Structure 1
């Protein structure tokens, strides 16, 4: 495989059956594809990229004022090396935004994952960042839900089969990310090999490149194509389809010579949902081999528990400050 499959979402209207077959095949193997014809406003894209560059150019003190360690909800800024993948630091600085919702008042007996919901942190020095990123998050949520509906049809399911998972409050996580250029011989883990934990992921890349997908033939570059998104299947869709759809390991290599900027959006399930197993038709069920199991990172069907587990592993500084009670219980 020399390149990822290329899908044009406009064909969902003009050649529906062919598009759905192509979508089902791409999401099964390799579990990644490049999406064009998605209809997201290019002016909004330009604005978001501009705001991202402005944010990363802020003085360090302004960025640290909204550092993630200040948020019990895992929102805000992280310096390069602060987030871990498989216990190793990722060499990227980033700013995380989730669904803008009120914090859940805590009382005895509430599941710990309810502490994940809450407001975002926003830099006082850049008030234009908030409307741009929330507009992008809304646009990508609409795109993600539309594509999720296409997956329901491609898997020969009722149109609303995923509604219990997303409802009116799907999981939303947006990251603007800067990968600093590194010199020859320096560590090259921009992001270590991993799978995404949600439903669908959408990555807007600049021209620098570095995103790679692990296929049966080895690592394949997700070549940047202007006006497109790299889309991949998350572990929740792998769980729901009993392994028919595939969440694929991928990584980002640190760039040489020039920094890399990307904007990633992750559509997830609502925190209080439980992932079902879809009743696939026999000709598809025969090809569902079950989700892959990782003894060191087991997948949980309780969405909230699964998300909290991932956040605690990836952000140990936030875990120590805001979830010390859970760490003590685990010990």
Structure 2
């Protein structure tokens, strides 16, 4: 995202690790735990989440389904080309997107929460962007739709829990953030494959995420980096079975720039 950057106020050199077991198994410790998470989000804007309860067998099955999707012939994936969706949902080939006016070397499938569609004449017009995803026929990739939907449902539940932790850590009512999103909350998902990139290029260039928070599942290959206030790119190493959590500009704005959407690539 372009615009003013509000960097963390300390030059972090690594990414903190947060165990969700501390929140779930120690009810009397929830307030200080939540405050520590908020401190990490204020100073770094990133953390690695472990002990989240999503089993590794399911994660492995999910990754296997993604690998099967990206291994399909281009003609099969083009059946759900993003350019044919009025809701900007679907598949994009490598080089289809730019970040900071530079090509992104990634192939991806964009999805979102699916609600009943608005009427074609709904106002304001931006409501019409909310619509169905594109899915391949079951005969092309059996089971893909089901396992991806299950993964997204689990991510939604985890996001709700993280919103509660952040609210408690900020001294708010536990459901303060969840109520902001109303009766049709939207989550956006990117299923991404990064091919080898040319020297000096990036899979996706430096940016901020625009939403509330991001839950990222890495697939064992490093490359993700976060920018600290000194201008150093800090590695966010993949941890088996863990999720990387980073904040978006929406949450930064809602907290008056106290919690930070850290630049990353």
1:56-205 alignment, distance < 5 Å: 56-107=70-121, 110-124=123-137, 125-183=140-198, 185=199, 187-205=200-218
Match of 1:53 in 2: 67
Report how many residues are paired.
Answer: 248
Structure 2 residue 18 is the aligned partner of structure 1 residue 7: yes
In 1, Cα distance between equivalents of 2:100 and 2:165 = 33
TM-score by length of 1: 0.72
Deviation at 1:166, TM superposition (A): 2.1
Secondary structure of the 1:205 match is coil
Gaps of 5+ in 2: 1-11
Structure 2 residue 36 is the aligned partner of structure 1 residue 22: yes
In 1, Cα distance between equivalents of 2:32 and 2:218 = 27
In 2, Cα distance between equivalents of 1:101 and 1:44 = 25
In 2, Cα distance between equivalents of 1:156 and 1:40 = 28
Match of 1:316 in 2: none
Deviation per residue, 1:21-80 (Å, 9 max, x gap): 220111001100101111123232112101000000001100111110010111110001
Contact in 2 for aligned 1:102/1:118 (Cα 8 Å): yes
In 1, Cα distance between equivalents of 2:208 and 2:158 = 21
In 2, Cα distance between equivalents of 1:191 and 1:165 = 30
Match of 1:250 in 2: 264
Match of 1:318 in 2: none
Q: Which moved more, 1:215-224 or 1:134-143?
A: 215-224
Contact in 1 for aligned 2:14/2:236 (Cα 8 Å): yes
In 1, Cα distance between equivalents of 2:173 and 2:32 = 19
Deviation per residue, 1:122-172 (Å, 9 max, x gap): 112113111111111110000001110111110001222113322342211
In 1, Cα distance between equivalents of 2:57 and 2:48 = 20
Deviation per residue, 1:223-242 (Å, 9 max, x gap): 00001111001111111111
1:276-291 alignment, distance < 5 Å: none
In 1, Cα distance between equivalents of 2:158 and 2:263 = 23
